[in-house]
Chains A and B, each alone.
Chain A
Amino acid sequence: GENVEQHPSTLSVQEGDSAVIKCTYSDSASNYFPWYKQELGKGPQLIIDIRSNVGEKKDQRIAVTLNKTAKHFSLHITETQPEDSAVYFCAACAFNDYKLSFGAGTTVTVRA
């Protein structure tokens, strides 16, 4: 099955700086890569996703890049704000599969 590794496990950044989280996956059939943000006491919330026919996708301060050859994808948050502090999860899934395989999560802390 799919194995997703996520780094780093914790990330502390100064407000206004950028944050980058990286994930690798093992199954070359995976073609859907969502990112979730989980705030304390809440469920994971989808913030952005990318499919394998696209190399990069951007939504305001958030961007995701995908390198299918190297089997890795990354989340980039620019101009970080205190409300970006949360746990971020990457995930991967193949088209003919039904379950998302999640990374272990990255705890992001934005220092004011």
Chain B
Amino acid sequence: DSGVTQTPKHLITATGQRVTLRCSPRSGDLSVYWYQQSLDQGLQFLIQYYNGEERAKGNILERFSAQQFPDLHSELNLSSLELGDSALYFCASSEGADYNSPLHFGNGTRLTVT
């Protein structure tokens, strides 16, 4: 068990809808990362937060947004959903702000857009 908790485990929704994915990092970790995993794109970095502030942005669509709250949990909001957004969404956490401290992944949220 990595100590990173993601909810829900599964999410099925229709095109055009909006969903929120939640992540609780490991105790003591200040960084939260969001990754998208799809069959044809592999693991793609979306965004990173460190101690409540956005630290780095990857290939995150404008329809997607995220935030990290004072208690360090994070939420990833996906709106105007399209069929192509169906994927596994992983949250990872680390102690520091960069890769000097290893990433620990949660078990993901499987999103299915119908």
Please report A residues at the B interface, Cβ cutoff 8 Å. 32, 34, 36, 41-46, 49, 89, 93, 95-105
On whether the beta carbons of A45 and B103 are closer than 8 Å, the reply is no
Bound Cα distance A100, B102 (Å):
10
A-B contact pairs, 28 of them (CB 8 A): A34-B99, A34-B102, A34-B103, A36-B105, A41-B107, A42-B107, A42-B108, A43-B2, A43-B90, A43-B106, A43-B107, A43-B108, A44-B90, A44-B105, A45-B2, A46-B102, A46-B103, A89-B42, A95-B98, A95-B99, A97-B56, A97-B98, A98-B56, A98-B97, A99-B48, A100-B45, A100-B99, A102-B43
**Out of A32, A46, A104, A105, which one reaches B104, CB within 8 Å?**
A46
On whether the beta carbons of B56 and A99 are closer than 8 Å, the reply is yes
For the A-B complex with A43-B2, A98-B97, A98-B99 known, give 7 more contacts whose Cβ atoms are closer than 8 Å: A32-B100, A34-B102, A45-B105, A93-B99, A96-B98, A97-B98, A99-B56
**Chain B contacts for A46, CB-based, 8 A:** 102-104
**Chain B contacts for A45, CB-based, 8 A:** 2, 105
On whether the beta carbons of A49 and B105 are closer than 8 Å, the reply is no
**Chain B contacts for A103, CB-based, 8 A:** 42
- Contact bitstring B87-114, A, C-beta under 8 A = 1, else 0: 0001010000111101111111000000
Bound Cα distance A35, B98 (Å):
17
**Chain A contacts for B98, CB-based, 8 A:** 95-98
Bound Cα distance A46, B5 (Å):
16
**Chain B contacts for A93, CB-based, 8 A:** 99
Contact A105-B105, Cβ < 8 Å, known A43-B2, A43-B90: no
